[in-house]
Structure 1
Amino acid sequence: MPVNLSAPNAADLHPVPGLKLGIAMAGVRKANRKDLAVIALEPGAAVAGVFTLNRFCAAPVQVSREHLASGQEIRALVINTGNANAGTGADGLARARSTCDALAAQLKISPQQVLPFSTGVIMETLPTERIAAGLPAALADLRADNWANAAEGIMTTDTLPKAVSRQVQIGGATVTVTGISKGAGMIRPNMATMLGFVATDAQIAPALLQGLVKDAADQSFNRVTIDGDTSTNDSFVLIATRQAAHAEITSWDSAEGQALRAAVFEVSRLLAQAIVRDGEGATKFITVEVEGGRNEAECLQVAYAIGHSPLVKTAFFASDPNLGRILAAVGYAGIADLDQSLIELHLDDVHVASRGGRHPSYREEDGQRVMKQSEITVRVGLSRGTAQATVWTCDFSHDYVTINADYRS
């Protein structure tokens, strides 16, 4: 069961003017499941994205990058689940392009105006004929209020759809930010099979969008890990339909710019955290805060060393306060001149370690009390500077092994 996460209420997901979503059952991998989604954009929208840094990236990632770089106005996104179209070579590229061709023909636009996205099993041929056959149904289903169905239609091993929506006042106008994401395993985005799509009707200068999507990813999807595996298909896309009735935002220095950034960051962060809460087999949601670093990069090194450690994650699953495992992870994180005599470790309100050793007041029953919680904060002090960073992760349970052992069956 996901950790303190429930399915979104469709009524709470605000439509974004200038954008519609349609869902269909195309039978990409299994019959009778929503597995094909189309997002259609009205003219004038701006689109930007960040993608996996895995060098063995999937065909749709390669094609999406090409189409974004072409400079043509993006008018549609097509997303399939059940098949990642990764590790499929030249044939996979051809099939990703043929999917764009098929949707472009239906919408009477250029194939370069379509971005393809896939998620699912790697090294299997994408059944483009099923996707093409499912497109008319997806297009017939296009609605502005279809976010909840779209969130369901991009799931793989997720147990729940993930969607978040917020509204903010900018220049006297109500601006909407709504997004969906999917992911539960093979998650350590580096921009897993992680997909995220966030849209807003804000009037943003198109030149600002790429910087915004990167910053949002760095504060959200690039701060989570379930199992340390960076997928071949990670993609995070930000869409601005630019239909809100306020003056165009041309700089982040203004109050309006800061308000929009905050809303985009919040939606992105909640979507990323939802992925962790729904991690494959997860029973606990863990926040890892590292402070007192010389720079943010080394704080992230330490946070990820803790978040990736199978020994740490299994201890959390067992509610076993074997907390020396956390100190060991801090030590092997890769900071060559780290002074262990300055390290501080807290588990929620419990002071576990001080000056590199067990804190005099620490009692194992206090550690176990915290470890039994469904939400836990690990706080590490490095005493080297003023930088800090936060990462969100989960535990490893027996179910994680079962889910991944049976993934293709």
Structure 2
Amino acid sequence: MWSSLCFYFLALLSLNTLRFSSSCTEPNKCVARIVCPHGSIVNDGSGIVVFRHKVCDSYTVCCAPVIQESSTYQNDLYEAFLTSVPSVTSITSEKPSTHMVNQVNEIFNPSTKLPFVKKISKEPTISLKDLMETVFNTETRKDSEAQEPSFYFKPKGCGYSNQNGLEATQASADNEADINEFPWVVIVYNRIIENILGGGSLIAPNVVLTKAKHIANMSPRDIIIRAGEWHTKSKIESYPSEDKEVTTIETHSRFNDANGDYNAALLILKSSFKIRPNISPICLAPERTSYDSSRCFVAGWGKKSHEDDDNSFALIQKKIDLPIVGRYRCESLLRQTILGVDFQLRRSFICAGGEKDKDSCFGDGGAPLFCPIPRQKNRYVQVGIVNWGILCGHENVPAAYTSVSYIRSWIDQKMMEHSVNSSYYTA
């Protein structure tokens, strides 16, 4: 009896095994669930690739804080007045109102007893126009500008780095750029939640090249560009950083939000940056140009590792040297990851990295990938835009960047539409 039962059980097992093994017939394939979310194989990374912008873990969500209008207004005034005229210590008026005195003191000097407005009379009143003229008077502005480094600076052209930085007294740690070493690298800020959206590159005095991911659906007035930055929490640089507002967002018409294809955007600024030693444009790769086997760099303020927590973004600009990886080798290596054996690398991508603990990472999205120009000392050309990767810094796992060479004609076309001369970013 037991032998009969065993035979019956083995027969059922064999039938089930046959049914399972024969259920996936050609041309179907057995693949990981993640690459078959809707019954067909994902071969372009859609929904699988991880974009290198700020992300939250599985236990948190990205949520905007409550912003009180009065606090924001006061901070904006504080920044506008004090950063423009740091030498102003008081405003004197013969006829200020009590309300005006209290309000201005509260905005400009909340933490000290020394008032910014000295009340001389109880008679009202001083107008906002008078107040602005007092603060932004011509003599004070000249004094403020005189404090900046005064030697004459003549721009040499795009892509020139400041070898060893602009400050000889400051030594940089491993994987850190020297002070203002790469004057084209900018920070893209979300001014609403006061958070870094990612990086970008200055390609003309009034144009920034960055990613389209998360930028495309934003209002231009919600974005601030900061150029000339090095240490985000310190002001030790001789040349101050500068902020500019965005007036127009140009997103590539073929941008694919799911897989990062054509992940590129141009931000047209409300006003131009003045070209200085710490602020100048990068050259862009010409069309149909290959940089395989080159050793290049990424600079930005993203995380150093995917394992770091959400608050561990770099304070000092990173400098990561990476090898360019040929597209066929890159596709082969990425097929060995969670992307699967059917993954196909899109033509708009260029790959770099694949070395242990050397990689761009979360928060670097939009930052430039740039390579040395042969036979031109300290001069670079941007070949990529940080796009996506599989975690960060894993050996034999290169990351994907938007190829600047591949989208160069689109950039040139948009620059013509905005009357921007291509000589700013042409070597």
TM above 0.5, one fold?
A: no
- Give the shorter-chain TM-score range: under 0.3
More helix as a share of residues: 1
Normalization by structure 2: what TM-score?
Answer: 0.25
